[in-house]
Amino acid sequence: MNDKTNKNSIIRLFNVSKRFGGKLALKDITLDIEQGELIFISGPSGAGKSTLLKILYLAQKASEGQILIDGMNLARISSSKLPFLRRRFGMIFQDFKLIPNRTVFENVALVLEAAGEKPSFIRKKVMQVLRTTGMEKKFNTLPPTLSGGEQQRVAVARAVVGEPSVVFADEPTGSLDSKSAQAILDFLMGYHKKGATVLIVSHNLHLLERTVSGRNIEISEGRIKRIATIFQDKERKQ
């Protein structure tokens, strides 16, 4: 099930499979994602959506197949170079993955510290991003004292502070109320409009209804079941 092939492809997957023991979690995935695309990866729980995302953000290795990121073959990249590739990605998780004993500021600053940025730049940039996510006033707060929506806004700030060209979001609104979910989605849409590629994994079809562009990749039992534009999806439902 090959999708369109484009010279602007930022991520390309060729017959990618992932095996956990004897069980195949992903089977023969072939996919092209263009620079600046908005991609939804949908499907029921256990379909393999998160596994696919983990492979894309280099948290897991594919058992079979080839993955090209910006023309670079992941299989040929040494482990010492992986951190530099990861800096081009931003990640958002359903459980936020914030460091509980570090302040909001420190959690967001970690990305820039890891990239070796100067403290003066880090201070300026982090406060700027916290302002855009509405978390500026809580910069000195520890994450456990924040609400779920606030924690996810911090996680979003951390994901975009390094101005990555690709943002991966794994069920970003999964544990949020509808108002917070909309705020997160709006922010991601805004970031996508600036030219970034955004991949959102979600089993929540309401998210698709709230967006007007992009592609929906439906996964079922580890395989790509269907690829359609959001527009096509909406038309089909009507």
Query: Where do contacts with another protein occur on this chain (CB under 8 A)?
Result: 57, 59, 80, 83-87, 89, 91, 97-102, 110-111, 113-115, 119, 158, 162
Residue 86 Cβ vs another protein, minimum distance, rounded to whole Å? 4
> Cα(227)–Cα(52) distance, rounded to whole angstroms?
15
Contact indicator for 159, 92 with CB cutoff of 8 Å: yes
Between 75 and 114, name the residue whose CB sits nearer to another protein: 114
Q: Between residues 1 and 99, which has the closer beta carbon with respect to another protein?
A: 99
CA angle 142, 147, 151 (to 5 degrees): 60
Minimum CB distance to another protein smaller for 139 or for 222: 139
CB of 158 to another protein, least distance (A): 7
CB of 67 to another protein, least distance (A): 17
Give the distance from CA 218 to its chain's centroid: 16
At its nearest, how many Å lie between another protein and the CB of residue 233? 30
Q: How far apart are CA 30 and CA 217, in angstroms?
A: 11
What distance in Å separates the CA atoms of residue 66 and residue 13, rounded to the nearest whole number? 6
**Minimum CB–partner distance for residue 197 and another protein (Å):** 17
- Which of residues 157 and 224 has its CB atom nearest to another protein in the complex? 157
Q: Among residues 40 and 168, whose Cβ is nearest to another protein?
A: 168
Task: Judge whether 89 and 168 are in contact, CB under 8 Å.
Answer: yes
Encoding tokens for residue 93?
Answer: 């998780």
